[in-house]
Amino acid sequence: QLQASGGGLVQTGESLRISCVASIPAFNTWYMGWFRQAPGKERVFVATIHTNARTTYYADSVKDRFTISRDNDKNTVFLQMTKLKVEDTAIYYCAVQDPTAHSELSVEPRQYAYWGQGTLVTVSS
C-alpha cells in the first residue's frame, strides 16, 4: 500500500514537498517513481529514483525544479517541487517498480507494479 500526502494549493513560483509512505516489504529493493495526471489528460512520468537513492531521472518538464529522494529507513519517497507553474497542477501518484522485472529506471507506467491513491497539487497564478 502506498500513501501519498502533502499536496495542496500554492501560488506560481512557490515550493511544495509531497511524500509517499510505502507499506511494502523490502522497500529498499524497489525503484520508486512519481507520475502526475492533469485534468483530462493522461498520466505522465515525473521522476524516478534507484534503490541506491543516488541515481535519479526526471521528465524534461520538471528537470532542475523538482528533486526526488528517498529514505529507506522510513519507507518513504519524496518529491520536492520548486518554482511551481500553473501547468504543474495535477494529481501526483507514487509508484513502485520491480527492478527484477525491468532493471533500468523506467518512465513507462506499465513498468510500475503498485500505485498510491494520489495527492492533489494545485498551482494558481
- Distance, in Å, from the CA atom of 92 to the CA atom of 87, rounded to the nearest integer, reads 13
Mean pLDDT over each residue of the chain, to the nearest integer: 96
Summarised one tens digit per residue, pLDDT across range 22-42 is 999 999 999 999 999 999 999
Neighbours of 117 (CB within 10 A): 13
Q: What is the pLDDT of residue 119?
A: 98
**End-to-end alpha carbon distance in the chain:** 34
Q: What is the pLDDT of residues 52-99, one digit of tens each?
A: 999 999 999 999 999 999 999 999 999 999 999 999 999 999 999 999
CA 3 to each of CA 51, 54, 63, 115: distance values in angstroms, whole numbers, following the listed order: 19, 23, 24, 9
Point out which residues pair with 19 in neighbouring strands: 5, 78
